Structure 1
Amino acid sequence: MIALWGIFGYLLGSIPFGIAIARALGLGDLRKIGSGNIGATNVLRTGNKPAALATLLLDSGKGAIAVLLARHVGGDAAAVLAGGAAFLGHCFPVWLGFKGGKGVATFLGTLIALHWPLGLIACAVWLLTAAVSRISSLSALLAAALAPVFAWGMGRADLIAVSLFMAVLIFVRHRPNIARLLDGTEPRIGRR
């Protein structure tokens, strides 16, 4: 039964909301715009802030919904598996030939649903870093890196593995961004 929650989470996470919203609004194929990413930051590069916000909410919501439904029916272990699987589905969606997004919104939504204090701290790290640097990728990397540390500090050993799993994948998915950060060419939030 727990494995079924993993499959459910993966399939839910695989829904490419950014692509669907961009197409519905006539913004074009996100994979051919800006960074080519399917997430909210790249939708923002189209200049459509409401579309970017909708993408952010839906991408974070799919992680949260997977966790909440799995917890309600299958318990905490099912919730952790469903959340991690939703994140994996966003990064490697079956519908797009396993070429998906970087998972930041889904990561945050999953953490909020798993343990809201941990999720809110990760969001605060992202927001504070973004306010100071105006660089989305740096904000995501710092929030992801600190999430397992905060899980440990809060005594939530049950969440260290899933937050570490998501953090590692976020770093893997951000390899080009890390290279641009190191050479000073990473684009700032809000620029096309």
Structure 2
Amino acid sequence: MTLTHFAIIAVCAYLLGSLSFAIIVSKVTLGKDIREYGSGNAGLTNSYRTMGAGKTLFVLLGDIAKGAAAVSIGALLAGPVGKLVAGIFVILGHMFPLYFGFRGGKGVLVGAVMLLLFDWRIFLIAFVLFFVAVALTRWISLGSILGAISFPITTLVFYNDPVLTAMAFGMAVAVIFMHRSNIARILRGEENKFFFKTKKTIEQSDRNGEENKK
């Protein structure tokens, strides 16, 4: 991979990652910033909790599309290494979006898309760990952390490439770092549990607020 290829992949992936669809959907459909509600995180879980399933579907599709686009650019220009470079920068864009004050989500969904397009075996192992952890504990964050931890390990096992493994390790560290507050709550036994039944959404909160003013 040449320096020019690296720069193109990095810039394109970061700009794509900066398209935070949780923020976009909340602002377009509700005129609100999702970061002011729930956990304050511009991610899929907080979208579901605060906007409901319908609007979260658009967040899901948007984040999948940007992750797939970024990794496809990386693959086209530089193969497997390009995929991981794209993965790093699309996740950084998602976490620190240029267009939204550098305050975004935690990078789990776009990271999962990158894993799937990079190597389905690595994705499958991470997904199984995620699913089992969430099924047993209802902690989305724990599943995300375990999936991230598995990434550099499986990359080393399947590829035995120090460069790819180092890049995978860097992405895993970034995702785990973004979950540092969740880790603290897990250790205290205070982490929020995930259920498919949503709590009070932004629309319901605003509606109740208006009724209380009458």
For the criterion TM > 0.5, the same-fold answer is yes
Match of 1:126 in 2: 130
Give the aligned residue type for 2:88. Answer: G
Confirm or deny that 1:148 pairs with 2:152.
yes
Q: Is the 8 A contact 2:72 2:83 kept in 1?
A: yes
Mapped pair 1:37 → 2:41: yes
Contact 1:136 1:189 in 2 (8 A): yes
Q: Which amino acid aligns with 2:192?
A: P
List structure 1 runs of 4+ shifted beyond 4 angstroms: none
Q: Which runs of 5+ in 2 are unaligned?
A: 200-214
How far the C-alpha of 1:50 sits from its partner, in A, is 2.6
Tell me which residue corresponds to 2:166.
161
Partner of 1:62: 66
Evaluate the alpha carbon distance shift between residue 130 and residue 27 of structure 1 in structure 2; reply closer, same or farther with a 3 A threshold: farther
Equivalent pairs counted in the alignment come to 192
Aligned pair partner of 1:115 in 103, 119, 127: 119
CA distance in 2, matches of 1:141, 1:76: 23
- Give 1:27 shift: 7.3
In the aligned structure 2, how far is the partner of 1:163 from the partner of 1:60?
Answer: 19
TM-score (norm 2): 0.82
Q: 1:94 to 1:184 in 2, by over 3 A?
A: same
**TM-score between the two structures when normalised by the length of structure 1:** 0.91
AA in 2 matched with 1:111: L
Residue 79 of structure 1 and its aligned partner are, at CA, apart by: 2.5
Is this contact kept in 2: 1:64–1:83, CA < 8 A? no
**Matched residues, percent identical?**
36
For each residue in 1:104-127, what CA deviation from the matched residue of structure 2 results, as whole angstroms up to 9, or x when unmatched?
Answer: 111111111111221222122212
Deviation for aligned residue 1:156: 5.0
Listed as ranges, the gaps of 5+ residues in structure 1 are none
Alpha carbon RMSD of aligned pairs, Å?
Answer: 1.8
Give the drift of 1:72: 2.0
Q: What SS does structure 2 have at the residue aligned with 1:21?
A: helix
After superposition, the Cα gap between the structure-2 partners of 1:180 and 1:27, relative to the gap in structure 1 and judged at 3 Å, is: farther
> Structure 1 stretch 117-126 or stretch 96-105: which is displaced more?
117-126
Looking at structure 2, the residues matched to 32 and 57 of structure 1 have their Cα atoms a distance apart, in angstroms, of 22
Contact preservation (8 Å) 1:118, 1:151: yes
The residue matched to 2:159 in structure 1 has which SS?
coil
